Amino acid sequence: MTAVAAEQARTRRPLRSVLIFVVLAVALGAVIFPTALMFLTSLKSQAEVYANPIALPGELQWGNFTRAWTVGDVPLRARNSIIVTITSVVLSSIIGAGAGYVCARIKPRRLGIMLTGLFAFGLFIPVQSGLVPLFVEMQALGLLGTLVPMIIVNAALQLPLSVVIFAAFFGALPIEVEESASIDGAGRLRTLFAIVMPLARPAVATNIILGTVTVWNDYFVSLLFSTDPSIQTLPVGLASFKVAYTTDWPATLAYTSMVALPVFILYIFLQRYITEGVTAGSVK
């Protein structure tokens, strides 16, 4: 009976591996195919798109990118997106690291778990519920027409996830590292920034990539606070370009490709740290 059970287990194992491979292959195809189709369509002429949308381009039409770059005012909107994204992610990372460290080290431990849970609850609050009061406040402060409202709101929206990521990572770090630093006379702040943060590169990388993807692709907040065309970000510019050039799919998808490319490149450089950062809190 034992031999039969062992044989059945060996038979099920390859079948399970095949099923997992098929599911992952389908998921990968669901991501790669639309992305590849977007880029290939951006290199086609209008006639090629309408003749066969999924065929490979004949002569590469790099002019679609030039047209989207100039007509869509990509340089100005890219500058705005870069400023908003970098500032928001840096602010949420610094504040999130400090708050996450407190949640991971505060005594009693139950209190830290409760505080982390309160921050995690912020992930479930719909952003739309508080934007109208925020708009009124920003107007009263005279900040409309600048990038400041977008930076503040996006940083606040990223803060709960930042705290959860850092709290999980710091909670998995051995406390002995910090105790050694305190014996040498280091205070809490010095311990955090000189000892703990250099060890937290996976958490920092995870926070950066997740925050960058969210803020870079944000449309709703940017649309609400873009009261002047000169402060529009790339997603808002892309929507405006699509409305103005509804039938020009090659140029529209060229614009979309330019919006997606920076995040894709960032992910390639940081992907090694992301898995470490996501799984850091699961193993002590």
Domain segments of the chain as ranges:
13-61, 75-282
pLDDT of residue 245: 84
Residue 8: what pLDDT? 54
For the chain, which ranges sit under pLDDT 50? 1, 283-284
State pTM to two decimals: 0.85
Residue 278 has a pLDDT of 58
Residue that is written with structure tokens 């050694």 in the block: 180
Query: In the numeric block, which tokens belong to residue 146?
Result: 């600048």
The per-residue pLDDT of the chain, averaged, comes to: 86
How many Å apart are CA 187 and CA 106, to the nearest integer?
15
CATH (one of 3.40.640.10, 3.40.50.300, 1.10.3720.10, 3.40.190.100) for 75-282: 1.10.3720.10
Q: Can you list the alpha helix ranges (DSSP code H) found in 141-200?
A: 148-172, 175-183, 188-190, 197-199
Contact 222, 235 (CB under 8 A): yes
- Predicted pLDDT of residue 91: 96
Give the CA radius of gyration of the chain. Answer: 24
- Residue 38 is classified by DSSP as H
pLDDT at 96: 94
What pLDDT is attached to residue 183?
Answer: 75
Q: What b/e sequence results for 144-168 when a residue is b if at least 16 CB atoms lie within 10 Å of its CB, and e otherwise?
A: beebbbbbbbbbbbbbbbbbbbbbb
Q: How many CB atoms lie within 10 A of CB 205?
A: 20
Is the backbone peptide bond immediately before 133 cis, with ω within 30 degrees of 0? no
User: Which pLDDT score, from 0 to 100, does residue 277 have?
Assistant: 57
- pLDDT score recorded for residue 63: 92
Give residue 1's pLDDT. Answer: 46
Question: Cα–Cα distance between 108 and 106 in angstroms, integer?
Answer: 6
